[in-house]
Structure 1
Amino acid sequence: MGFAGAMVVAMAVDALLGWPSKLFARIGHPVTWLGGLIAAIDAGWNRESDPPALRRAAGIAGALLVIALAVALGWLLQSLLPPSWIGIVLAGILAWPLVALRSLYDHVAAVANPLLGGDITAARAAVSRIVGRDPAALDEAGIARAAIESLAENASDGIVAPVFWGALFGLPGIFGYKAINTLDSMIGHRNERHEAFGWAAARIDDVANFVPARLTGFLFVLLARKRSEALSCMTRDARRHRSPNAGWPEAAMAGALGVRLSGPRIYHGSITDEPWLNGGARDPLAADIGEGLTVYRRAMLLLAGLLAILACA
């Protein structure tokens, strides 16, 4: 079966439709279904009375169980599809909910539009839906920085990575990746409750995103107006990021836009002293979010085009 072709179908359907709100209200979303399973495992297996070693073992078992179930479901559905172009289209439709192409664009644009109009309150409310930092402490530069960082990182996690694994392994690949990414977002945190239990989820997510994060960064470099600056910033600053993967698309975007990203930020009332990416550049403004969306849109079109070429080869 043409896995690359199926991913093109998934991207095209998502770009056209997103995930309709009426459909979400009626049946939810596959990620929320995964989230329910992960939350149940977290509640039942992550016991605070257990020693850290036992909690880590339980977290490993829980992560492997969720991933195995997702991969098995993907394999079962794929095995039922006909080995023809109809099967490719159906596989793409089944993969469609796991590609957040339009959702990411819409959420970031929802920050840019009020910020461009000078409505800081609405912009703060919009950015609070896509980042975890305290929006009340953000000025225009802080809001723009948060939106651009979210755009860059989630382009990798939400589109490039699932499409990458889907193109390699079909439905088992994209289903398995989405399970990995959802595990990390829910339990892969360095806090008292999840330091041990979420250890495996975070490490597996790091491995799964290693290639896609770097691929996303290079896509941004290729489609940037300031191509040499984007490449220089990515190769110089990506490893300074606290994440082994997120720094690649974020640093590439920082160089592409000629702005500085990351840096100190406030989470739950506490300041975290993160290093700057492209630290010698200016702070981003509202207009830079729109430029970032342009780079993102072009990069996703290039990705779809490359997949189409692979599908026809």
Structure 2
Amino acid sequence: MSTAAGLMLGYAADLLLADPRRGHPVAGFGRAASALERHTWRDERRAGIAHVAVLVGGAALVGLTAERVRRPVPHTLLTALATWSVLGGTSLDREGAAIDAWLAAGDLPRARRQLTHLVGRDTSRLDESEVVRAAVESLAENTSDAVTAPLVWGAVAGMPGLLGYRAANTLDAMVGHRSARYERFGWAAARLDDLVNLPGSRLTAALAVLLGADRRGAWRAWRRDASGHPSPNAGPVEASFAGALGITLGGTNTYGERVEHRPVMGQGRPPQLNDLDRARSLARRVGAAAVLVAAVSARRGPRRRGPRPTTAAAASAQPAPRRAR
């Protein structure tokens, strides 16, 4: 019960407070990871595996220490604090709202600059439709990464799951991308992130199907188009969002000197300005449903078994036979 209550309270805290501008625990973890990287970096996979093991294991150990608190109220509050620290749904929605506002005001250059807070691609030459597409794709993927997936791990593994997941996801963003420096060192971070995001991405896609305006379209897009995406987890959520909203996502993205041509997902029209607000609304519904699923799952989790009763005690505990009428 305390885990379920803590997940709900932490989700509510994210809705009300979002991420602090200073002193965020995830930012502190990032600084610690960068400092450690100066000592652990080698152009080899073994060094990357050790780097990930120390940082993710350390974060999970902190969560395990907090999980040992047995009193319900402190345990609930600690779970709520951990949940709030790893969620990012409200900050994600605010970034989407800012992009929407700049586009509605006709200020495409400002919208492009705002978009750089969400995506790593080159935004300097995107037209309005491409800005909306990039923002919707980021909303879909990050609803899974920053909302659903941590809630799933919180329900399954409590505070060690929450903190360990966020550590793995943060390391993927830091070193898991393809580049000359991280091709081998970041391999472990990228593969671990793929693994831990599998359940959250599938739940996100399923909720988008259930809560979207076009359920059949979302289901068809998920089944038909998700496998064409280079990410095994971004594919299902982006495809289901595309189908649910009745638009197409995917296409050509530029990352510095590298150009990626991704397959089109969905069978609708190209994204328009009003689709960004629709995507934000869908993401909020998916987040609210995800926390309910997580809370129910935590509440119905495995219970500790006590010692088996003796035969006499078991017999005395059985209900008396019902009398015939």
TM-score (structure 2 length as normaliser): 0.88
Q: 2:88 maps to which residue?
A: 100
Offset of residue 103 of structure 1:
0.7
Structure 2, unmatched stretches of 5+, are 301-325
Secondary structure in 2 matching 1:277: coil
Offset of residue 260 of structure 1:
1.1
Q: Is the 8 A contact 1:161 1:212 kept in 2?
A: yes
For residues 93 and 187 of structure 1, the distance between their equivalents in structure 2, rounded to whole angstroms, comes to 27
Aligned CA RMSD, in angstroms, stands at 1.6
Q: Cα 1:232–1:29, aligned 2, differ >3 Å: closer, same or farther?
A: same
TM-score (structure 1 length as normaliser): 0.91
Q: 1:190 maps to which residue?
A: 178
Q: Is the 8 A contact 2:151 2:294 kept in 1?
A: no
Q: 2:45 maps to which residue?
A: 56
1:237 paired with 2:225, answer yes
For residues 248 and 201 of structure 2, the distance between their equivalents in structure 1, rounded to whole angstroms, comes to 19
Q: Is the 8 A contact 1:137 1:266 kept in 2?
A: no
Decide which structure has the larger Cα Rg and report it.
2
1:210 pairs with one of 185, 198, 211:
198
Q: Is the 8 A contact 1:5 1:311 kept in 2?
A: no
Q: Is the 8 A contact 2:6 2:80 kept in 1?
A: yes
Q: Is the 8 A contact 1:3 1:169 kept in 2?
A: no
1:157 paired with 2:152, answer no
Offset of residue 94 of structure 1:
3.1
1:289 paired with 2:284, answer no
For residues 83 and 117 of structure 2, the distance between their equivalents in structure 1, rounded to whole angstroms, comes to 24
Offset of residue 269 of structure 1:
4.2
Residue type at the aligned position of 1:6: G
For residues 45 and 84 of structure 1, the distance between their equivalents in structure 2, rounded to whole angstroms, comes to 40
1:77 paired with 2:72, answer no
Q: 2:40 maps to which residue?
A: 45
Residue type at the aligned position of 1:16: L
Secondary structure in 2 matching 1:131: coil
Offset of residue 107 of structure 1:
0.9
1:30 pairs with one of 25, 32, 36:
25
Secondary structure in 2 matching 1:136: coil
Structure 1, unmatched stretches of 5+, are none
Q: 1:222 maps to which residue?
A: 210
Q: Is the 8 A contact 2:214 2:243 kept in 1?
A: yes
Q: 2:189 maps to which residue?
A: 201
Q: 1:14 maps to which residue?
A: 14
Q: Is the 8 A contact 1:98 1:162 kept in 2?
A: yes
Q: Is the 8 A contact 2:82 2:163 kept in 1?
A: no
For residues 11 and 53 of structure 2, the distance between their equivalents in structure 1, rounded to whole angstroms, comes to 28
For residues 139 and 93 of structure 1, the distance between their equivalents in structure 2, rounded to whole angstroms, comes to 40
For residues 137 and 14 of structure 1, the distance between their equivalents in structure 2, rounded to whole angstroms, comes to 34
1:181 paired with 2:176, answer no
- Higher mean displacement: 259-268 or 37-46: 37-46
For residues 4 and 237 of structure 2, the distance between their equivalents in structure 1, rounded to whole angstroms, comes to 22
Q: 2:2 maps to which residue?
A: 2
Q: Is the 8 A contact 1:116 1:287 kept in 2?
A: no
Secondary structure in 2 matching 1:121: helix
For residues 166 and 105 of structure 1, the distance between their equivalents in structure 2, rounded to whole angstroms, comes to 22
Aligned-pair identity (%) = 39
For residues 312 and 266 of structure 1, the distance between their equivalents in structure 2, rounded to whole angstroms, comes to 45
Offset of residue 311 of structure 1:
5.3
For residues 202 and 19 of structure 1, the distance between their equivalents in structure 2, rounded to whole angstroms, comes to 25
Deviation per CA, 1:80-128: give whole Å up to 9, x if none: x343144213321232111112111111111111112221112111111
Offset of residue 272 of structure 1:
1.6
1:68 paired with 2:63, answer no
